[in-house]
Amino acid sequence: MLSLFSIRNTGLALSLLLLAGCAEFNAGYNGYPNQYNDPYAQSDFDELLAFGANMAKISSSARADVCHTLLKRQKNPPGAGIHLHLMVGRLLSDACGDIAKILNGVNAIQPGSLPDERMQRLVAIHTEALKRLQNVSRRVGSLEHKQKSVQSVLESKDASSSKKDENRLLREKLEAIRSMEKHLDESGDAN
């Protein structure tokens, strides 16, 4: 009797474990074959806010890892969710790619695919922020270019002034040698 009871309990326990395992395995299943819920593919307001908040809390190296993951997923035909996650991620990390490409991807999203007014506002705000960031980057690049050209001009002036100083020293040495020769000639004539 005892062995029958333990076999039944073992069978029941195994069945429960099997059901729990299947439930965990199917947790990401969205009802379509070969497609699982990808958090980056989602494009709802709360998901993007949570994503931005989580990105803000992690280290810059972890942000870069997230960005690399998003960029890899962008190589496949990306949906609106990937473009929107890249948009949010780019505000927090340079590793999320080129701003112009991100803006092109966000602008390609069909207006009807963002029916939530809050989402439309969020996209508008982030798009403008990325445009400003892109303009600042361009200005910084322009200023760095100008700084390099000014620095090269200053270095060439320094080089020419050091050559002038070198030439002046050589002339002074030459005059000193001539003066010594003249002095030696005069003293040689006196003997």
Residue owning tokens 């090269």:
152
Judged against a pLDDT cut of 50, whether residue 38 lies above it is answered with: yes
> Contact, 55 vs 92, CB < 8 A?
yes
pLDDT digits (tens, 9 = 90+) for 12-33: 444 434 443 443 334 444 444 4
Residue owning tokens 């050559």:
163
- CA 24 to mean position of chain CA atoms: 35
Per the DSSP assignment, residues forming a β-bridge with 18 are none
Mean pLDDT of the chain: 77
CA atoms within 13 A on the CB side of 134: 15
Tokens representing residue 94 in the block: 């340079």
Give the amino acid at 15. Answer: S
Rounded-to-integer distance, Cα 101 and Cα 78, Å: 13
Judged against a pLDDT cut of 90, whether residue 54 lies above it is answered with: yes
pLDDT digits (tens, 9 = 90+) for 143-169: 777 777 777 777 777 666 777 888 888
What pLDDT is stored for residue 150 in this prediction?
Answer: 74
Residue owning tokens 């100008």:
146
Taking the model in full, what pTM does it have?
A: 0.57
What pLDDT is stored for residue 23 in this prediction?
Answer: 38
SS3 of residue 115 by DSSP: coil
What pLDDT is stored for residue 159 in this prediction?
Answer: 66
Give the helix ranges, DSSP H, for the chain. 2-25, 45-57, 60-75, 80-92, 99-107, 117-190
> Contact, 102 vs 133, CB < 8 A?
no
pLDDT digits (tens, 9 = 90+) for 100-156: 999 998 888 876 778 788 988 999 999 999 999 888 877 777 777 777 777 777 777
